[in-house]
Amino acid sequence: MPRPPNPEVRTRFLTIGRDTVHEMGFNGCGVGDITAAVGVPKGSFYNYFDSKEAFAVEIVEAYWLSIEARHGSLLREASVRPLVRITRFFHALSSDHAQKDFTLGCLIGNLSLELSHASEDTRQRISAIVKRWEAALADCLREAQQCGDFDADRNVAEVATILVEAYEGAVMRSKLEQSGKACRRFEKVVLPLLLV
């Protein structure tokens, strides 16, 4: 009789295994690379995930939840003006990328490029995450409209979408150049242009 899955091992898959995919790319690593990093036999992977694609769905969700846990409060900090919150949130994301010298990119963007045509489940999960991200930004923009800091006629959902699209492009360029210049341009040029 097989042993039930161990929650601690599952957590390692969703952290260490996720980091392995982030570093090597989804197509650049196999199940063996993931299980070796986690420190479990290769066959045990399938005790936790039906497929490598199912694993991708779970790690991209875990990745976003880790961002929300570390930085989500920046967007909800009532004592700070809403547009400042948005600026601080994107700066915090860029600081995360700087810790790895801008070499990894965003797992959301990376998996979008690698899997959106190959895994419908992953594409849908990433799409849902991006919508959650945009909704959080739109909430701040709405608050900024209410306090007179943001043009009341602007479409907050559209601006939030453009912010995410522009930032993901900056992160991709930063990964390509292995430099933070594109993320700094986003903060110094794009944000001020959009948050008026």
Residue ranges per structural domain of the chain:
1-49, 53-194
pLDDT score for 1: 43
Buried b (16+ CB within 10 A) or exposed e, 69-101: eebbebbeeeeeebbebbbebbbebbebbeeee
Annotation: CATH topology of 53-194: Tetracycline Repressor; domain 2 (1.10.357)
pLDDT score for 142: 98
Token pair in block for residue 49: 């995930």
Residue keyed to tokens 């961002």: 67
Question: Which of 168, 196, 164, 193 minimizes the C-alpha distance to 183?
Answer: 168
Q: Tens place of pLDDT for every residue, the chain, 196 residues? A: 456 679 999 999 999 999 999 999 999 999 999 999 999 999 999 999 999 999 999 999 999 999 999 999 999 999 999 999 999 999 999 999 999 999 999 999 999 999 999 999 999 999 999 999 999 999 999 999 999 999 999 999 999 999 999 999 999 999 999 999 999 999 999 999 999 9
Are 114 and 26 in contact by the 8 Å Cβ rule? The answer is yes
pLDDT score for 3: 62
Token pair in block for residue 82: 């809403």
Q: For residue 67, how many other CB atoms are within 10 A of its CB?
A: 19
Question: Which of 182, 24, 189, 176 minimizes the C-alpha distance to 94?
Answer: 182
Residues in CB range of 190: below 8 A, 6 or more apart: 163, 166, 167, 170
Token pair in block for residue 29: 């690593």
pLDDT score for 36: 98
Residue 155 φ/ψ region, left for φ over 0, alpha for ψ in the -120 to 50 degree band, beta for the rest = beta
The structure's pTM equals: 0.94
pLDDT score for 5: 79
CATH code assigned to 1-49: 1.10.10
